[in-house]
């Protein structure tokens, strides 16, 4: 008979207590190794928590505008001129020392509601892993489920959601667009802030000249006045001033009925517009679809919708050629990415509304060439500036969104609270 190996022979002669001790130590070592691999000693997956949220600071900031802003909704008597914009900022810090900032906003009304809702649900974030952004969005939605999944409730969550994405990208040392997977390092951009109806057309033309000299590529002007002939005169004057090669868009801010939209759409075809924006009520998907089928000029809409589900109706009806979601309005970046996938699948163009500090990253990650809307109103809120040149808005190399709140933003804070340490 072949004798057993020497180590086996020795184990047979070890005292039982020693053998038991060796087995116990070996089992403990395996459990420790398995935990480091993300498994418990029972072989069940456990959470690989990288960090935990330590505090959330919410700030309600009122941005004053230099003059009252009027679009068609003011001229038709549905709204008053806009003199300020209410912002909700969320600043998140973790036990590991990482930080992120995000924001949402409301025009004319809704800012205090966003702040109040965020303050109610934010305690549910403390101690959570900031990497689990999708799960945390769902958790906060359920925390306030009785007030719905659109409108002020999800707009309040948007500030937190954007801050979590900013934190994640900062921790990775990447601009947010690169974290998401950018298709380009710059995006076509157009300006809206110089094209409102409270200014005469000569001033709008001067604004457009300055805008183009600043490196911005396109001009959008407001239409939808009670006198449709005044709209046509305004568009003709601006087109003549710009020439045929400068991209020009118009925005009716939902102030036309179906017959007027059809008539105006046909009349505007001659001006070579990039798109006609919000020709009808934002929720009239069927009316938009009729226009999109009959007009030569592209139809764009979506900025005032407040959820992915509402946008899905536009997509389902083939109601627009260009979708214009607003990440802060639909619940943040998590929801925007879901919507962008639907838009890509439907072969739609993309032109996110407002909030260029967020949307330049999301547009850069969209497969088809998008547009980003430039507004100079937000300049005082941040220490950094986005660079526009040669008609495009360029990503910076700064990690995350690449923004930090200015001292002026701090000075305009009207309410503030910190949850956690």
Which residues form the catalytic set?
Answer: 222, 353
Q: Which residues does 287 contact at the CB level (< 8 Å), separation at least 6?
A: 258, 261, 280, 281
Q: Dihedral sign, CA of 331, 336, 341, 344?
A: positive
Nearest Cα neighbor of 296 from 262, 334, 252, 326 is 262
Which residue in 356, 305, 311 sits closest to 329, CA to CA?
305
Strand 53-69, strand 82-94: pairing: antiparallel
Residue in 304, 389, 301, 295 with CA at minimum distance from that of residue 351: 301
Torsion of CA 306, 137, 156, 85, to 10 degrees: -70
Provide the 8-state DSSP code for 194: T
Residues 6+ apart with CB under 8 A from 370: 187, 188, 349, 350, 351, 352, 363
Distance CA 377, CA 359 (A): 15
Residue 69 backbone dihedrals phi, psi, to 5 degrees: -100, 130
End-to-end CA separation in angstroms for the chain: 72
Return the H-helix or E-strand segment holding 362. Answer: helix 356-364
Do the bridges between strand 99-107 and strand 82-94 make them parallel or antiparallel, or are there none, so unpaired?
Answer: antiparallel
| Whole-angstrom Cα Rg for the chain | 27
Residue with tokens 């359920």: 142
What backbone torsions phi and psi does residue 238 show, to the nearest 5 degrees? -70, -40
Secondary structure (3-state) at 183: coil
């Amino acid at each position: 008979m072949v004798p057993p190996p020497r180590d086996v022979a020795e184990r047979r002669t070890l005292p039982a207590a020693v053998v038991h001790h060796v087995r116990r130590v070996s089992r403990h070592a395996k459990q420790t190794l398995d935990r480091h691999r993300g498994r418990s000693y029972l072989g069940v997956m456990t959470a690989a928590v990288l960090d935990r949220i330590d505090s959330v600071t919410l700030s309600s900031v009122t941005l004053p505008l230099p003059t009252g802003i009027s679009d068609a909704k003011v001229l038709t008597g549905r709204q008053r001129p806009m003199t300020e914009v209410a912002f909700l900022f969320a600043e998140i810090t973790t036990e590991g020392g990482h930080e992120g900032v995000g924001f949402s906003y409301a025009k004319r009304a809704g800012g205090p509601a966003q702040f109040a809702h965020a303050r109610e649900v934010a305690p549910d974030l403390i101690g959570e892993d900031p990497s689990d952004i999708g799960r945390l969005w769902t958790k906060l939605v359920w925390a306030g489920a009785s007030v719905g999944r659109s409108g002020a409730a999800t707009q309040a969550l948007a500030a937190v959601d954007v801050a979590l994405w900013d934190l994640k990208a900062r921790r990775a040392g990447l601009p947010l667009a690169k974290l998401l997977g950018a298709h380009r390092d710059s995006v076509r951009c157009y300006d809206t802030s110089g094209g409102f109806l409270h200014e005469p057309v000569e001033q709008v033309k001067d604004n457009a000249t300055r805008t183009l000299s600043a490196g911005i590529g396109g001009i959008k002007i407001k239409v939808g006045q009670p006198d449709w002939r005044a709209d046509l005169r305004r568009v003709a004057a601006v087109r003549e001033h710009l020439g045929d090669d400068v991209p020009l868009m118009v925005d009716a801010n939902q102030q036309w009925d179906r017959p007027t939209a059809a008539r105006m759409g046909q009349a505007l075809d001659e001006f070579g517009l990039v798109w006609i924006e919000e020709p009808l009520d934002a929720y009239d998907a069927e009316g938009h679809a009729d226009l999109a089928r009959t007009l030569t000029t592209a139809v764009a809409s979506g900025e005032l919708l407040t959820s992915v589900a509402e946008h899905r109706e536009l997509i389902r009806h083939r109601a627009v050629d260009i979708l214009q979601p607003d990440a802060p309005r639909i619940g943040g970046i998590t929801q925007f990415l879901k919507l962008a996938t639907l838009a890509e699948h439907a072969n739609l163009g993309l032109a996110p509304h407002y909030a260029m500090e967020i949307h330049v990253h999301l547009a850069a990650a969209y497969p088809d060439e998008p547009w980003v809307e430039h507004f100079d109103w937000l300049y005082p809120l941040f220490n950094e500036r986005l660079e526009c040149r040669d008609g495009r808005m360029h990503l910076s190399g700064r990690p995350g969104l690449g923004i930090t709140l200015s001292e002026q933003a701090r000075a305009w804070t009207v309410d503030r609270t910190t949850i956690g340490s």
